[in-house]
Amino acid sequence: MMAELSGKVAVVTGASRGIGRGIALVLAERGATVYVTGRSVKPGDYYLPGTVGETAAQCTERGRDSGGRGIAVACDHGDDAAVAALFAQVEREQGRLDILVNNAFQLSDNLLDSSPFWEKPLSEMQMWEVGVKSNYVAAWHAAKLMAAQKSGLIVAICGYAGYSYTYGTVFGTAKSAVDRMARDMAIELQPYNVASISLWQGLTLTEKAEYNLSKMADKMTDTITSMVGSTVEHPGRVIAALAADPEVMKRSGATYITAELADEYGITDVDGTRIPSNRARRGAPLWQPISEVDYRGK
């Protein structure tokens, strides 16, 4: 495997399992030093398998030929002090940061409950706290390092909920906010040669998705269950390509469908499968690269 990210430093939030884990593994395999964050430290901390230590160890194993490695950091992204300590550790140990993947998202236990928003508890707002606010806080710290070095890439993991009704009001609002946040950050980061991009994931076969499909598929809409699912590493392959692209700034500010960006870069899933876009069924992203539009409305 090419080590096109050799010497790069990445932070992947929410990487104990799921999409974050897959992204971390690919970045390490391509040569990056990857800080793996999450709340799961001991097996059994969560009902699904995976811990930050296990993911970090797997990153180091995957990076043995490229020089990549994983570093586990227990971090609750709802705790601003813990997030500040994480980025202070990165700066102290590495002196730089090249990639931030904002993946952490606190999914509600009521996610598949079809009740209207006023019949759900206000605790649903946890998806705003860890999913929107947490993205901003992590990017705030990352941008200080990246702007100073005049380079970097911030990627937000989002989805078709930015266009299509998905799961409920809070979920859709949170994902829409993440798209807009990535867009506006790109405008303010542009003078510092730092790119900000949002990716729309389709069905990704995470541990939680597999669990929900096996236990509660009847509560999931056909638009989701009928998708061709990708492995958790597919978005990591796309992000690795973005991070290695010398012209990534031309893409900054845009929201991309991961499957379409994969096609542009000639990327398939780990088994060689091409993951199809769901644009026709679930909608198209609103935001184009700021290099292509008059984003200030002058």
What pLDDT, in 10s, does the model give residues 287-296?
999 999 876 6
Q: Rg for the chain (alpha carbons), in Å?
A: 18
Instruction: Tell me the average pLDDT across 149-171.
Output: 95
Tens of pLDDT, residues 226-261: 667 899 999 999 999 999 999 999 999 999 999 999
In terms of Cα–Cα distance, which of 197, 206, 210, 295 is closest to 253?
197
Is pTM beyond 0.95? Reply is no
pLDDT band at 67 (very low <50, low <70, confident <90, very high): very high
pLDDT score recorded for residue 44: 79
Looking at the chain, the whole-number percentage of residues with pLDDT higher than 90 is: 80
CA distances from 12 to 35, 101, 118, 139, 288 (A): 6, 5, 34, 12, 24
CB 13 within 8 A of CB 103: yes
Q: How far apart are the first and last CA of the chain?
A: 46
pLDDT score recorded for residue 222: 59
- Can you spell out the DSSP letters for 225-263? HTS-PBPTTHHHHHHHHHHH-TTGGGGTT-EEEHHHHHH
Instruction: Tell me the average pLDDT across 219-231.
Output: 66
DSSP state letter for 273: P
Domain ranges within the chain, ordered by starting residue = 9-282
In terms of Cα–Cα distance, which of 136, 157, 151, 172 is closest to 245?
151
Q: Which CATH architecture has domain 9-282?
A: 3-Layer(aba) Sandwich (3.40)
Tens of pLDDT, residues 74-120: 999 999 999 999 999 999 999 999 999 999 999 888 888 999 999 99
Distant-in-sequence, close-in-space partners of 71: CB < 8 Å, separation ≥ 6: 33, 34, 35, 36, 56, 93
pLDDT score recorded for residue 203: 87
CB 145 within 8 A of CB 90: yes
Looking at the chain, the whole-number percentage of residues with pLDDT higher than 70 is: 91
